[in-house]
Amino acid sequence: MTTNRKLTIGIIVLLFINLVILGFFIFNHKDCNNTRSTVPKGPAQTIIKKLDFNKEQIEDLKTLKTSHMKYVRAKDEEIKAVKKVIFNSLGHDNGTNIDSLSTIIGAIQKDIETSHYHHFLKIKALCKGDQVEKFNELSKELSEIFSTRRQGRTNKK
C-alpha cells in the first residue's frame, strides 16, 4: 500500500469515528435541556418516578421544593452564624454561653425538621387516587433516601 492510500484510509476512519460520536451526542442528548427544566434530579426524581406524577404535579412539586429549600437554607445560615459565635468565643470565653448557644442551634434544627415534615405532607396533598397509597409506601423509604443524600453532602470537602 502506498502512503497516500494509507493516509486516505486513516482520514476516512477518523471521519467515520467523528460522525459516530456526533450522532451519539445528537440522538442521546437531544432532550437534555428540556429534561433538566422539567424533571428535578436526586430525591425529587425518585418521588416523581415512584408516585408517577403528571406534568402539573411535577411543576407543583418543583414550586414546593424551591420554597422549602429556600427556608431550610436560611435556617442553615442561622445555625452557621450561631456556630461562628461559639467558635469565636473559644479564645476568651470560659464556656458559660455554650449551653444557651447550643439550645438556640437545637431550636433552629427543630424548625428545620418540622419544616421537612410539613413539606412532605404538602407533597402527599399533591397525590391523587392510588398515588396516596404509593406515597404511604414511599414514606417508609424517605429517611433512607434523604439520609444518604445528607451523608454524601457532609463528606464532601
Q: Rounded distance, CA 153 to CA 157, Å?
A: 9
Query: pTM of the prediction?
Result: 0.66
For residue range 20-49, list pLDDT tens digits in order.
888 888 887 555 555 445 556 778 888 899
Which whole number is the average pLDDT over 83-106?
A: 85
The closest alpha carbon to 43, from 157, 131, 110, 139, belongs to 139
Confidence of residue 121 (pLDDT cuts 50, 70, 90): very high
Residue from 128, 154, 123 nearest 139 by CA: 123
pLDDT the model gives residue 120 = 93
Q: How confident is the model at residue 66 (pLDDT cuts 50, 70, 90)?
A: very high
| Burial class (CB within 10 angstroms; exposed 0-12, middle 13-18, buried 19+) of 47 | buried
Instruction: Determine the straight-line distance between the first and last CA of the chain, rounded to whole angstroms.
Output: 57
CATH of domain 40-155: 1.20.120
SS3 110: helix
Q: Taking a C-beta distance cutoff of 8 angstroms, is the pair 13, 19 a contact?
A: no
65-84 average pLDDT score: 95
Q: What Cα–Cα distance (Å) separates residue 79 from each residue in 43, 66, 113, 121?
A: 24, 20, 13, 25
